[in-house]
Amino acid sequence: MKRWIAIVVIVLVAMAVPQVLNPSGYWMRVFTLTLLFAAMAQAWNLIGGLANQLSLGHAAFFGIGAYTSTILLLKFGISPWIGMFAAGALGGLAALVIAVPTMRLQGHYFALATLAFGEVARVIANVWTSLTGGPGGLSVPFVPPSFAAYSFKQLLPHAYIALVALIIVTVIFEVIRRGAMGYRLRAIRENAAAAEVIGIDTTKVKLQTAVISGVLTAMLGTLFAQVAVFFDPDTAFSAASISIRVALIAIIGGVGTAVGPILGAFFIVPIEELMNDLFSSGAAGLSQLIFGVILIVVILWRPRGLVTIFEALRARLQGRGAQS
């Protein structure tokens, strides 16, 4: 009951925030991107948290999503709403192609292999000029504003779409985590041989998880393209600012929990922006340095993520309740 009240309050606050921000201002953009990155970290959390496989290649799905819908819009005038589903299909297919050879890898090896796949996707996008426009990038063409065309005069509607996307991805994550698939994923994570012996098709479960994560990430790539308006292979398929950042958000927030990626995104994305805002006029790289120091301090203070702050608080409150 308390949990539901908390969820409703948080959603209401999130809905109210865009109303007080400048409808097309800088902080509206930060808020929208924060929601999108929270949703992406949540999609990553399926593999990184539930299956405990550290993927550093999610930019592949993200870039595929951004490019698919934008190319469909440019070449055939197809609304990004529909392009989003084509993006999801291709993202899922890419996830399958990557998961089949990497699935058996553990730990660092899986991380490196997925990182390599992400980089391969970036290189392909750079050289396949006839399809992607190459290093010059793509601009989302201007379409008369309407909801059906996924085109708006202000950023405000994008913020709400991102919020809805975050809610949907979080619900999917929770349903999987609590359902039969969640039990199977935990079993595989803790002892793959035992999981097989008691009847879990470990290959199938891992592939399913990778595909769901790939589909969701690609669809979020489409949403990003609509917000960004312009992107090139090095941004949409970026190892540092997409793959690693998404993993970092989930890890700083707390992997394997639904709250973790949301906390992580609302910590990392605004702070990174704030650091850039405050220090970019100073020495070159100062803002990145300070941001890095903050991350190190947080990870030393809360190795299992910011989500543990709430766990500790709850334990303390319950402890006090028991004493009185």
Partner 1 sequence: MTILDVRGISRRFGGLQALSDVTFSVPKGQIVGLIGPNGAGKTTFFSTLCGLIKPDSGAIMLDGTSIVGQKPHKVAGLGMTKTFQNVALFAESSVLDNVLTAGLLRHDVEKARERALACLDRVGLRSVAHKMAGNLSFPERARVELARALCTDPKVLLLDEVMAALNPVEMQEIMDLIRQLRDDGITLLVVEHHMRAIMAICDRILVLNFGRLLADGSPREVANDPVVIEAYLGRSAEGHV
Could you tell me the two tokens for 222? 């489409």
Closest contact distance (angstroms) between CB of 128 and partner 1 is: 38
Minimum CB distance to partner 1 smaller for 129 or for 191 = 191
Count Cβ atoms below 10 Å from residue 317 Cβ, excluding itself. Answer: 10
Closest contact distance (angstroms) between CB of 205 and partner 1 is: 10
Question: Helix, strand, or coil here: 146?
Answer: strand
Say how far apart CA 74 and CA 272 lie, in whole Å: 32
Minimum CB distance to partner 1 smaller for 195 or for 255 = 195
Closest contact distance (angstroms) between CB of 253 and partner 1 is: 19
**Which strand (E) or helix (H) includes residue 192?**
helix 192-197
Closest contact distance (angstroms) between CB of 261 and partner 1 is: 20
Minimum CB distance to partner 1 smaller for 201 or for 277 = 201
Closest contact distance (angstroms) between CB of 255 and partner 1 is: 13
Minimum CB distance to partner 1 smaller for 191 or for 318 = 191
Minimum CB distance to partner 1 smaller for 5 or for 198 = 198
Closest contact distance (angstroms) between CB of 215 and partner 1 is: 24
Minimum CB distance to partner 1 smaller for 52 or for 235 = 52
Minimum CB distance to partner 1 smaller for 106 or for 191 = 191
Say how far apart CA 225 and CA 71 lie, in whole Å: 11
Say how far apart CA 134 and CA 234 lie, in whole Å: 10
CB within 8 Å of 219: residues ≥ 6 apart: 65, 84, 85, 87, 88, 91, 165
| Beta carbons of 11 and 168 less than 8 angstroms apart | no
Minimum CB distance to partner 1 smaller for 123 or for 194 = 194
Q: Between the CA of residue 56 and those of 53, 88, 117, 239, 303, what are the distances in Å? A: 9, 19, 9, 7, 19
Closest contact distance (angstroms) between CB of 319 and partner 1 is: 20
By CB under 8 A, name the binding residues for partner 1: 179-180, 183-184, 186-187, 190-191, 193-203
Q: Between the CA of residue 38 and those of 27, 121, 246, what are the distances in Å? A: 16, 23, 8
Closest contact distance (angstroms) between CB of 50 and partner 1 is: 13
Question: Helix, strand, or coil here: 230?
Answer: strand
| Beta carbons of 37 and 228 less than 8 angstroms apart | no
User: Pseudo-torsion of CA 132, 135, 136, 142, nearest 10°?
Assistant: 40
